[in-house]
Amino acid sequence: MQFEKPKVHFTDDSLIYPTNPITLNLIGAGGTGSKVLTALMEVNHSLIELGHAGLQVRLWDDDVVTEANQGRQRFAECEVGLPKAVALINRANRWSGTNWKAEVRKFERDSLGRIQENMKSAIYMSCVDNVKSRFEIADILNELKEGRRLYRNQAKYWMDFGNNRYSGQVLLSTVENIKQPNSEKYQTVSHLPYVTEEFGELLLQSETEDDTPSCSLAEALEKQDLFINSALAQMGCSLLWNLFRNGLTENRGFFLNLKNFHSQPIKL
């Protein structure tokens, strides 16, 4: 009886054996993004302790901290009125001695439709709250892929976080096919599709008309459960950590429902 070999994706070698810190663009500094940044601080510190070059993170968000952000998002009262990206990056750099960067603007092309140099990175993590932004990110990554120029910050992976009130998902994608080693034990997978490719129609159907900011924490909690963002952030960054630590993955993401505490991995 012949058994089918399990499918795995091997992490790109440039992330496992880097000569410089891995560049990472984190897009969004709200409920999920603020928690992801904290997890990335832990990933970076742990990688360096293991002899790895670590991460160089750039956080993108054009919003400012409001009183409604306290509690569900990772902001303090003294940070109300500050740009979210600046508040979070300053805190991260003070804690870990890093030189991570804040961009107080949206992750989008400039007025002439060009992609700026600081938008290039090896890893992209999106924590945005609208479908339009996801498709814009996909369009930017496709242009970077089509350029096919060799540069240090060549795009490799995109991890997207999304949620509604009680449930959410994280999906890992490859920007280009990642060269896989020959394996007798595994069936290797070089391409992981974008969330916009595989779930594009569902994303468009899920888009709500009311995307106005909440004026209070109580109002915000009517839209999203208190812990859905932090649960997604921890599990998603665990997937990223395993790419570095184990060098391969059998899963490219997961669905999570906090109402019934059910988690479903998304296999390759």
Bridge-partner residues for 168, per DSSP? 163, 256
Cβ proximity of 251 and 239 under 8 Å: yes
Q: What is the mean pLDDT of residues 76-90?
A: 92
Task: State the Cα–Cα distance between residues 25 and 89, nearest whole angstrom.
Answer: 13
What is the average per-residue pLDDT within 169-194?
Answer: 96
Distance CA 263, CA 145 (A): 32
Question: Has residue 98 got a pLDDT over 50?
Answer: yes
**pLDDT tier for residue 199 given thresholds of 50, 70 and 90:** confident
Q: Are 175 and 141 in contact (CB under 8 A)?
A: yes
What pLDDT does 204 receive?
A: 67
> Per residue in 208-254, pLDDT tens?
544 555 554 455 555 678 899 999 999 999 999 999 999 999 999 99
Of 73 and 36, the one with more pLDDT = 36
Count other C-beta atoms under 10 Å from residue 234's C-beta.
15
Output the pTM of the full model: 0.92
pLDDT class for 29, splitting at 50, 70, 90?
very high
Is there a contact between 160 and 173 (Cβ–Cβ < 8 Å)? Answer: yes
Task: List phi, psi (to 5°) of 200.
Answer: -55, -45
Residue range 75-97: average pLDDT?
Answer: 93
Mean pLDDT across 119-145: 94
Provide the pLDDT for residue 206: 59
Taking only the tens place, the pLDDT of each residue in 152-167 is 679 999 999 998 889 9
Q: What percent of the chain clears pLDDT 90, i.e. is strictly above it?
A: 74
pLDDT given for residue 209 in this prediction = 45
What residue type is 264 in one-letter code?
Answer: Q
**Residue 86 token pair:** 């600046």
Q: Give me the pLDDT at residue 68, please.
A: 82
What value does the mean pLDDT of the chain take?
90
The pLDDT assigned to 213 comes to 56
Average pLDDT for 54-81? 89
DSSP the chain: -PPPPPEEEEPPHHHHS-SSPEEEEEE--STTHHHHHHHHHHHHHHHHHTT---EEEEEE---B--GGGBTTBS--GGGTTSBHHHHHHHHHHHHH----EEE-S-SS--TTSPPPGGG--SEEEE--SSHHHHHHHHHHHHHHHHH----TT---EEEEEEE-SSEEEEEEEESSPPP----SS-EE------HHHHSHHHHHHH--S--PPPSSHHHHHHHS-TTHHHHHHHHHHHHHHHHHHTSEESEEEEEEETTTTEEEEEE-
**Rounded alpha-carbon distances, angstroms, from residue 224 to 29, 72, 165, 230:** 16, 9, 4, 11
Share of the chain above pLDDT 70, in %: 89
Spatial distance between the Cα atoms of 92 and 24, rounded to a whole number of angstroms: 15
